[in-house]
Amino acid sequence: MILAKVHTTPLQRIEFRLLMSIRFACLMAVAKGHITPMDCPRVKARTAALEQHLSQYRPSLVFVQSYQNTAGELGHSLALRYNAASKRIMIWRNTPLELASKVTQLRGTV
């Protein structure tokens, strides 16, 4: 859905806009030092907006194929899953924690 170049319906355009806003909020959360993007209040607010949209309107076929009950790519290192039964969205980083965070080993003198 994110990488699709042609959005043929108004519903797909709305979903694309909401997904892109979530993606950029996740990137900013990671840049601010959040280990998981769902810890950031901005990401929570934007996922709530998408959840509200999906509760009011039926998701497009492209959204269902990409994200409903399966993990879909939201970016190079982000994944999104929409659970249709609970109507909840989950976002996580799909990179190893060692590579994602800036960890420096401290050498102590004894």
| Residue linked to tokens 């039964």 | 85
Cα four-point dihedral sign 83, 88, 94, 97: negative
SS (H, E, C) 45-73: HHHHHHHHHHHHCCCCHHHHHHHECCCEE
Nearest CA to 59 out of 75, 80, 40 is that of 80
Nearest CA to 37 out of 110, 95, 107, 103 is that of 95
Locate the domains of the chain by residue range.
Answer: 10-94
Inter-residue contact 43 to 59 (CB < 8 Å): no
Quote the pLDDT of residue 104: 44
Quote the pLDDT of residue 93: 84
Asked whether the predicted pLDDT for residue 1 surpasses 80, the reply is no
Inter-residue contact 79 to 72 (CB < 8 Å): yes
Average confidence (pLDDT) over 60-83: 88
pLDDT tens, residue by residue, 35-52: 888 999 999 999 999 999
Inter-residue contact 60 to 15 (CB < 8 Å): yes
Quote the pLDDT of residue 15: 93
